[in-house]
Amino acid sequence: MTDHQLCPKFEAAFEILGKRWTGLIIKSLLPGPRRFKDISEMIPGMSDRMLAERFKELEACGLIHRHVYPETPVRIEYELTEKGKALEPVMKEVQNWGESWVN
Amino acid sequence: MTDHQLCPKFEAAFEILGKRWTGLIIKSLLPGPRRFKDISEMIPGMSDRMLAERFKELEACGLIHRHVYPETPVRIEYELTEKGKALEPVMKEVQNWGESWVN
């Protein structure tokens, strides 16, 4: 990369992270699989419609898996893939920055 | 933080980073002060109007300084503050992730 260009892989990464709520959703899934309602409750400012849209995008990017358990009633869980879990160091640095610089 | 809440400082950090173009603008300013046109050229998909808006937001958040040099013609440069430069580890981890996981 020259000084006048950004790395396309960096740009692609921010195509995902630079969308409202995405970082919070990924962070919420780091501890393990969660149901729709769990994530919805962890991020009160986000509508369920938005969460459904983001889940679809994150699934399409290969960051999360959607597991459907054929129970009654059916149980659906969302889990980070390896690619999604690999964002943990990013989330950690965002947390560090927030702790140092957000008052 | 319980398992059912996100840290407000993490959320605040992503209020900034989770906006389209913001991460790319910060990354573009890491090497040092730049003019409007330099950043505009580094991020070809972004309109100048959008860049002007993001610069204003980033200044309001205390992430960048706008320097006006009273030359003829006037020279205006944008520079990361300490708070802005402190995002370098985040950008580095995003780059690492992109290199490993974006094909």
Strand-pair category, A75-80 with B64-69: unpaired
pLDDT mean across residues, chain A: 94
Structure tokens at A89: 């160091």
Query: Which pLDDT value is given to residue B33?
Result: 97
Query: Which pLDDT value is given to residue B43?
Result: 94
Query: Which pLDDT value is given to residue B83?
Result: 98
Range A29-44 average pLDDT: 95
Q: How far apart are CA A24 and CA B31, in angstroms?
A: 28
Cα nearest neighbour of B29 on chain A: A3
Residues B17, A17: C-beta atoms closer than 8 Å: yes
B62 φψ region: left (φ > 0), alpha (ψ -120 to 50), beta (else): left
Is position B23 within any domain? no
Query: Which pLDDT value is given to residue A5?
Result: 83
A chain contacts of residue B16, beta-carbon cutoff 8 Å: none
The CATH number for B60's domain is 1.10.10.10
Range A34-59 average pLDDT: 96
Residues 6+ apart with CB under 8 A from B15: none
What is the pLDDT confidence band of residue B102, given thresholds at 50, 70 and 90?
very high
Residues B102, A28: C-beta atoms closer than 8 Å: no
Cα nearest neighbour of A98 on chain B: B9
Is position B2 within any domain? no
Is position A2 within any domain? no
What number is the ipTM of this complex?
A: 0.93
Query: Which pLDDT value is given to residue A3?
Result: 64
Query: In this structure, how many other beta carbons lie within 10 angstroms of the beta carbon of residue B58?
Result: 24
Range A45-67 average pLDDT: 96
Report chain A's terminal Cα–Cα distance, integer Å. 35
Of A14, A24, A93, the CB nearest to B11: A24
Residues B6, A43: C-beta atoms closer than 8 Å: yes
What tens digit of pLDDT does each residue of B25-55 get? 999 999 999 999 999 999 999 999 999 999 9
Strand-pair category, B64-69 with A64-69: unpaired
Bridge partner list, B80? B64
Query: Which pLDDT value is given to residue B16?
Result: 94
Is position B11 within any domain? no
Number of structural domains chain B divides into: 1
Distance from CA of A56 to the nearest CA of B (A): 18
Structure tokens at B100: 């490993």
Of A7, A18, A21, the CB nearest to B21: A18
Domain hosting B54: range is 33-96
Query: Which pLDDT value is given to residue B2?
Result: 54
Residue B3 predicted with pLDDT over 70: no
Is position B13 within any domain? no
Q: How far apart are CA A90 and CA A93, in angstroms?
A: 5
B74 φψ region: left (φ > 0), alpha (ψ -120 to 50), beta (else): beta
Is position B68 within any domain? yes
Is position B3 within any domain? no
What is the pLDDT confidence band of residue B103, given thresholds at 50, 70 and 90?
confident
Residue B5 predicted with pLDDT over 90: no
Is position B4 within any domain? no
What tens digit of pLDDT does each residue of B44-96 get? 999 999 999 999 999 999 999 999 999 999 999 999 999 999 999 999 999 99
